[in-house]
């Protein structure tokens, strides 16, 4: 898992709109759950099983009551948050902000299909849903992004 961890953190970060600390927590929880279920994991499906654990944890994490009640920050920002919106953003920050507007399941489908480059079948396996659902969620997600943010059509989700 040491070799695969960076890729899992990348996927988790995209699923939680760039919050690296949350992504690290999600991957750690997913790997712990994977360790506990190791006897059920087939050697040829380790990557897919790990991805599925990360996607499930990213979606489930938002459902926990703690998330709705409180958000803990280690430090206060040096400048007001509103000033960040006024400054220029990188393409990666733009894509993360756009992805944050999508519901969790739709975001997972878009990230796994178009950022990670998984096939429809692999994405369906990771999300534990049908291939038709993946196609529908990914298409609706892309269309929602196009409709809502036509000025950002120049951004690419590849290479994030």
Closest CA to 60 of 16, 125, 93, 19: 16
Q: What is the pLDDT of residue 156?
A: 56
**Domains of the chain from N-terminus onward:** 5-152 (1.20.140.160)
Task: Check residues 123 and 153 and name the one with the higher pLDDT.
Answer: 123
**Each residue of 70-128: pLDDT tens digit?**
566 666 555 544 444 455 566 677 778 888 888 888 999 998 888 888 899 999 988 88
Q: What is the pLDDT of residue 83?
A: 40
Asked whether 57 and 30 are in contact (CB, 8 A), the reply is yes
Task: Check residues 62 and 13 and name the one with the higher pLDDT.
Answer: 13
Look at residue 140 and tell me whether its pLDDT is greater than 80: yes
Q: What is the mean pLDDT of residues 59-72?
A: 63
Scanning 37-130, the segments in alpha helix (DSSP H) are: 46-61, 65-69, 81-86, 91-100, 104-110, 120-127
Q: Which conformational region is residue 50 in: left (phi greater than 0), alpha (psi within -120 to 50 degrees), or beta?
A: alpha
């Amino acid at each position: 898992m040491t070799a695969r961890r960076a890729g899992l953190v990348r996927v988790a970060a995209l699923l939680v709109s760039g919050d690296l600390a949350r992504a690290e927590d999600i991957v750690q929880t997913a790997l712990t759950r994977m360790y506990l279920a190791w006897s059920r994991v087939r050697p040829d499906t380790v990557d897919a099983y790990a991805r599925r654990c990360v996607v499930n944890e990213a979606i489930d994490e938002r459902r926990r009551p703690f998330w709705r009640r409180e958000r803990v920050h280690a430090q206060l920002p040096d400048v007001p948050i509103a000033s960040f919106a006024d400054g220029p953003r990188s393409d990666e920050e733009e894509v993360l902000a756009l992805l944050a507007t999508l519901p969790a399941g739709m975001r997972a489908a878009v990230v796994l299909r178009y950022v990670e480059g998984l096939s429809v079948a692999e994405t369906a396996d990771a999300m534990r849903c049908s291939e038709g659902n993946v196609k529908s969620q990914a298409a609706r997600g892309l269309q929602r992004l196009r409709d809502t943010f036509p000025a950002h059509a120049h951004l690419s989700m590849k290479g994030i």
